[in-house]
Structure 1
Amino acid sequence: MTPAAVGFQCPDDVRAGNAGVRRARPVPRWTAARRRFGPVTATLVAVNVAVFVVTAVSAVSVGEGPLENWRSPVFQEFSQVPVLVDVFGQDWRLITGAFLHIGITHLLLNMLSLLVFGPELEARLGWWRYLGVYLVSALGGSVAIQLFGEPGRPVAGASAALYGLLGALGVLMLAARQDLRGLLTLLAINVVISFLPGVSLLGHLGGLVAGVLATALLVLTRRALQRRRAVVQGAGLLLLAAVLVTVALVVPVPVVVLGL
């Protein structure tokens, strides 16, 4: 017999009882992260970190330090350089630059911001609308840099997309008649920071405007017929992205930059 809290228990009965109890299985860390932060937010963070590791390894392959990842061939091939997009037709740089970061600090700050603001927006918008706003915002920043930035200066980072998420949050709060003062104060502080050397003010503002437009489109079409709402909203986001890409590719860089 086995001593118990009250009296004694038969060992066979204890084993039989334990056999019918379901034991909790440990949840993998990736699954836990997806549940906590949202699948899209967690995936975006993972992709950005993975890309940074790739650029760090690429930097080592050419004799540079891993933290000097901007010197790597991969970074040079995929960062946004307006003149290379306009003159040499390297269109992929409009979006790939949004997944590159210049150094570990740049990466950590942007990913922390994404983990702070991303989950709430993903919960409010749903995964595909949230992803659409993120990518459209990234394109908005790229278009602003393409039109008004320095033609030969490489630009990279998820900041434009993050500003777009802040703009998206502002639109949702406005539609819900929530107090915007805290968000506007945060935006004002970040815009001031954008004037610091090495920070792309154009990319930030372009992402902010694109995020506002994309989310306003979603809000204005949310009363569409239930069966058609997703189609209308998806088509609207695709159309907005197409317009941004077209503007970036059609308007010549030298004409805009030189004001001719």
Structure 2
Amino acid sequence: METCVRHPDRPTGVRCARCERPACPECLREAPVGYQCVDCVQEGQRTQRRPVTIAGAELGSRLVVVPVIVVINIAVFAFNAYQAQSISHNELSQSFVDWVLAPVLVQNGEWWRLVTSGFLHIGFTHLALNMVSLWIIGRELELVFGRLRFLTLYLVSLLGGSAAVYILSASGAAGASGAIYGLMGALLVTVIRLKLPLGQVIAVIVLNLALSFSGLLAISWEAHIGGLVTGAAVGVGFLYPPARIRNQVQTATVIGVLVVLVGLMAGLGSLQVVDL
């Protein structure tokens, strides 16, 4: 009598339905057709293609990027407040002064402010509103886009908002709203791509843009418009390519958007800053 390939001391009259090797009951698992040995089951799990979203992200991924970004923003705010010895006036800290987006200083070579300013907030209310918005919008988008694509979308949108401030405004700016508006733009593209109802998303975007231009609050409309347009552009490049060339098109989209942003900043400079 044949013996189990994994347990030579165990005689068996049963074979694996896939590899046809003899196997004892302990080494067999129920399959759609018959029984398979544990080796074939493991091999099937390795070679089986996992379902992906329209952006190419694996379904069922755990949320990671959004919580990390929230923690980073809170940590930066806490550091600013500690330096300033004030929660309500954390903008008086040296780190805030060194990182805030000031077009005249960016024009003089301090380019890091285009990114660092996106992690600064003026007062706790500003921080809370942006982090709540990030949590609400970002959770769904991270699952659709996947961790790396979502992080790329967030950072490129942040840069798009900062680029618009640099080109169009002479005053400084701080906050994650440029990146969050980028997420709104990508969310709009996602809803269109999935052919879902547009009413709520458009209403939220229009309401927020109306507040941006109302003059009632100290809001940087330049960052909002720049982030929104950039996020929508990245969203189109991430969500619409066919699966066979998805990765190439997504990479080209990011590079293309970055080239455009850098080109606009280098070519136009800060239109509101006068060289002395």
TM-score by length of 1: 0.77
Distance 2:134 2:273 in 1: 35
Instruction: Give the structure 1 partner of residue 95 of structure 2.
Output: 74
Structure 1 unaligned segments of length 5 or more: list them.
Answer: 1-34
**Does 2:178 match 1:164?**
no
Asked if the contact 1:122/1:130 (under 8 Å) is kept, the reply is yes
**Pair 1:50-2:75 in alignment:** yes
SS at match of 1:178: coil
Q: Distance in 1 between matches of 2:272 and 2:236?
A: 30
Map of 2:253 onto structure 1: 236
Structure 1 position 107, deviation (Å):
0.2
Matched, 1:190 2:211: no
3-state SS of 2:79 partner: helix
Q: Deviations over 1:90-110 (max 9, x none)?
A: 000111100100110000000
Q: Deviations over 1:110-138 (max 9, x none)?
A: 00011111110001111111111111111
Q: Deviations over 1:213-247 (max 9, x none)?
A: 000111232x142xx53344134213312321332
When residues 189 and 42 of structure 1 are mapped into structure 2, their CA distance, relative to the original with a 3 A threshold, is: same
Report if aligned partners of 1:139, 1:245 keep a CA contact under 8 Å in 2: no
- What are the Cα deviations for residues 35-83 of structure 1, in whole angstroms up to 9, with x where unaligned? 99810000000010011011111212xxxx2331111110010010011
**Count of residues in Structure 1 that have an aligned counterpart in Structure 2:** 213
Matched residues in 1 for 2:68 and 2:94: separation? 25
1:124 alignment counterpart: 144
SS of the residue corresponding to residue 148 of structure 2 reads helix
Q: Are 1:100 and 2:120 an aligned pair?
A: yes
Q: How does 1:209-228 map to 2 (within 5 A)?
A: 209-221=229-241, 223-225=242-244
Q: Conserved in 2, the CA contact under 8 Å of 1:159 and 1:204?
A: yes
C-alpha distance in structure 1 between counterparts of 2:175 and 2:220, whole Å: 9
Q: What CA distance in whole angstroms lies between the structure 1 residues aligned with 2:61 and 2:254?
A: 27
The letter of the residue matching 1:179 is P
When the two structures are superposed, what TM-score results if normalisation uses the length of structure 2? 0.73
Q: CA deviation at 1:177?
A: 1.1
Higher relative contact order (CA 8 A, sep 6+): 1
Mapped contact 2:237–2:249 kept (Cα < 8 A) = no
Q: 1:248 aligns with which of 253, 265, 270?
A: 265
Q: Does 1:173 align with 2:191?
A: yes
CA contact (8 A) 1:37 1:119 kept: no
Where structure 2 has 5 or more consecutive residues not aligned to the other structure, the ranges are: 1-59
Give the conservation status (yes or no) of the 8 Å contact 1:98–1:157: yes
Greater helix content: 1
User: Aligned partner of 1:245: which letter?
Assistant: V
2:272 is paired with a residue whose SS is helix
In structure 2, distance between residues paired with 1:131 and 1:52: 20
Identity of aligned residues (%): 38
What do you get for the CA RMSD once the two structures are aligned?
Answer: 2.0
